[in-house]
Structure 1
Amino acid sequence: MSVRTIYRDIDALAASGVPVYADRGAEGGYRLLDGYRVRLNGLSQNEAEALFLTGLPGPAAALGLDAAMIAAQNKLMAALPANLRADAGRMQERFHLDAPGWFGEAEEPKHLRTIAGAALRGTLIKIRYQSWRAEKQRRVAPLGLVLKGGGWYLAGQVDGSVRTYRVARVLDCTALDERFDRPADFDLAAYWQAATLRLEAEMHPNVAIVRLSPFGVKLLDALSQPYVRARTQIEDAADADGWRIARVPTGKTSWHAAAELLRLGPEAEVLEPADLREKMAELTQAMAARYRAARKA
């Protein structure tokens, strides 16, 4: 780097408002004014919070921060130097993040904004929640919200333990004035990753031995959930017709497992366990009888 380049860069910094100054002497040079920090002035609290949702207009709107997000983006864009402003504009024009999964509508939970507000304030909420088994009431410390596949999930602390609640199943929610102490070691991203892996394992605790046709192998890959797809083991060896043996993670009950494997139609044959094979035979026979009766009618 030449001396001329250094002088040019120093002049550019000074012109943009950065307080650099020359310090003469044997140990002199250019210095930054003590205590200087880069600041973006004019952001409101809502706009600062909405910065973390930049590029996610749908979730920002669900949280009531869509207008704040747009205002924050505009202020950020105005604060950038002209050359960087053009680059940022190109990024916005060429990349788009679509959070919800395919073939489903994004949820719009009724009480999402109330829960989000309590999470930001660090105050308790009282909820009436519809679980799989029963309706329950809880006083919850809302530690954080997660958006996954178009659905919102609450990581909430109840009686000292952290649990996951689907926000769409919250029937009523009351924001309380009582504050709670957030666990110092709680990391939302780490908690969610562990909770997701645990749930996927709990949903598929069993293994089925299945014969798959060549097309069945493709169907299994196309229709399976990522957890199942990643843990399915398919033997390399094939029989004379190209069928191969696979070990496929399945659901807790034979009903759950059969519902997943029936999607493969005649391209799969369950070999083990025996109760699942019997359930598959029972269901396919009942389906065949129903269709035969309908055809005769």
Structure 2
Amino acid sequence: MRATRLLSIVMALQVRGRVNAETLASELGVSVRTIYRDLDDLGGAGIPVQSEAGPGGGYQLLDGYRTRLTGLLNQEAEALFLIGMPGPAAALGMGRAVVAAGRKVLASLPGPQGNEAARLSARFHLDPVEWYRHAEPVVHLPVVARAVLDQRALTMKYQSWTGVRDFTVEPLGLVLKAGAWYLVARGGRKVRIFKVSSMLELAATPREFARPADFDLASFWAAELQRFEASLRRETARLRASAAGIERLSQLGAYAAKAAAAALAPGADGWAELSLPIESVEHAALLLLGVGPELEVIEPVALRRRLGELAAEVARRARPARQAPRAAARRKRGESAAKARRKRGEGAAKELRQGATPDNPA
């Protein structure tokens, strides 16, 4: 949104002093001409932007100028980055602050720009939760967020895959990924990742800590994701798949889609060979079972065998239930005998009805 960009320019000039137009354009992902236009609009709105030509020149705010964005409160300023994300803002306990901050930012813009920003805000919505999933309950998230902002240590009972453990950590940042919140925190000399929904008990302590000046949350998260994915799938399976099979594979995740896109050219039968990173034989077999008969495992042999076993078990359970031959024969004989007895009984009753009396015995 243009409103966000204008705010970013003002904040950059206020925090960093002199900045040239090329740097602003690169950081904000727009053209230099757009930056010039934005700077003119800021000047027209009463923000004293000053330019200086020559080497080392650029744009800066007049000495002593500070903007409070029409009376923005501390909590509203903290919530600025969440404008346009009402769901995450509410989960963090910043819902009202985000709404108030958004209104004040829009009010600070010149009339036409404010109207345009409001129009765009009403037409775009961000929903970070994946399809067929609900946002996880994160009752401790507001406390965690406050501790991150205030740089106060946390104590917690945490449910990990190894069991329940106690931790005392220094919270460095929060990450929202695919609808789940994660805390990045330092415990001792190690920086760890904790899933907020797995925190059983949590409390903020009065102890403050100094956040490492060189810690970059986004860079740390990207590196951890790469390390985790590399350690997760250490084996590779060779597969053959039809065009339909490759299409189904591409829907099993980003790594499978990448493998499907790198498949070799199809042979005369229309099937192509490809390599797929796998986590384990069991996990891969369960995953590939859904591709059905459009796929064949070449290696490893253990995966080929396990996939065959699972397919055979599914086929066995899908067959209609059948009686054992002997049991069926016994049941048939019993039914025949019962039928004969019924016929004899019906015959006797018929004779009685036809005149079996003392004077006229049957």
TM above 0.5, one fold?
Answer: yes
Alignment partners' CA distance in 2, 1:275 and 1:20:
69
Contact 2:249–2:256 at 8 Å: present in 1 too?
no
Contact 1:233–1:248 at 8 Å: present in 2 too?
no
The one of 160, 170, 175 equivalent to 1:146 is 175
The one of 256, 270, 294 equivalent to 1:228 is 256
- Kindly state the Cα deviation for residue 295 of structure 1 after the two structures are TM-superposed: 4.3
Structure 1, gaps ≥5 residues long: 1-8, 22-30
- The answer for the alignment partner of 1:28 in structure 2 is none
Cα 1:176/1:147, change in 2 over 3 Å: same
Aligned-partner residue type, residue 202 of structure 1: S
Alignment partners' CA distance in 2, 1:50 and 1:276:
50
Q: Does 1:72 align with 2:101?
A: yes
- Judging by fraction of residues, say which structure has more strand: 1
SS at match of 2:291: helix
- Kindly state the Cα deviation for residue 283 of structure 1 after the two structures are TM-superposed: 1.4
- Kindly state the Cα deviation for residue 172 of structure 1 after the two structures are TM-superposed: 0.9
How many percent of aligned residue pairs carry the same amino acid? 43
- The answer for the alignment partner of 1:102 in structure 2 is 131
- The answer for the alignment partner of 1:285 in structure 2 is 312
The one of 159, 168, 173 equivalent to 1:130 is 159
- The answer for the alignment partner of 1:88 in structure 2 is 117
Aligned-partner residue type, residue 127 of structure 1: M
- The answer for the alignment partner of 2:74 in structure 1 is 45
The one of 264, 268, 285 equivalent to 1:258 is 285
- The answer for the alignment partner of 1:200 in structure 2 is 229
- Kindly state the Cα deviation for residue 239 of structure 1 after the two structures are TM-superposed: 2.8
Alignment partners' CA distance in 1, 2:262 and 2:115:
50
Normalized against structure 2, the TM-score is what? Answer: 0.71
Deviates more, 1:256-265 or 1:139-148: 256-265
Cα 1:295/1:55, change in 2 over 3 Å: farther
Alignment partners' CA distance in 1, 2:286 and 2:293:
14
Which fold has the larger relative contact order, with Cα–Cα distance below 8 Å and residues 6 or more apart in sequence? 1
Q: How does 1:114-125 map to 2 (within 5 A)?
A: 114-125=143-154
Contact 1:118–1:142 at 8 Å: present in 2 too?
yes
Contact 1:54–1:69 at 8 Å: present in 2 too?
yes
CA RMSD of aligned residues (A): 2.4
Query: In terms of Rg, which structure is larger?
Result: 2
SS at match of 1:94: coil
- What is the number of equivalent residue pairs in this alignment? 275
SS at match of 1:153: strand
Normalized against structure 1, the TM-score is what? Answer: 0.85
Deviates more, 1:226-235 or 1:137-146: 226-235
SS at match of 2:228: helix
Cα 1:255/1:169, change in 2 over 3 Å: same
Aligned-partner residue type, residue 47 of structure 1: E
- Kindly state the Cα deviation for residue 81 of structure 1 after the two structures are TM-superposed: 0.8
Cα 1:82/1:287, change in 2 over 3 Å: same
- The answer for the alignment partner of 2:271 in structure 1 is 243
Q: How does 1:164-183 map to 2 (within 5 A)?
A: 164-183=193-212
SS at match of 1:236: coil
Cα 1:138/1:20, change in 2 over 3 Å: closer
- The answer for the alignment partner of 2:57 in structure 1 is none
Residues 192-233 of structure 1 show CA distances to partners (whole Å, capped at 9, x for unaligned) of 111111222222221111110110011111x22113322456
Cα 1:180/1:36, change in 2 over 3 Å: closer
- The answer for the alignment partner of 1:26 in structure 2 is none
SS at match of 1:178: strand
- The answer for the alignment partner of 1:269 in structure 2 is 296
SS at match of 1:168: helix
Contact 1:258–1:280 at 8 Å: present in 2 too?
yes
Structure 2, gaps ≥5 residues long: 1-38, 51-59, 324-362
Alignment partners' CA distance in 1, 2:104 and 2:94:
15
Residues 41-75 of structure 1 show CA distances to partners (whole Å, capped at 9, x for unaligned) of 31111111111100100000001111111011111
Deviates more, 1:96-105 or 1:230-239: 230-239
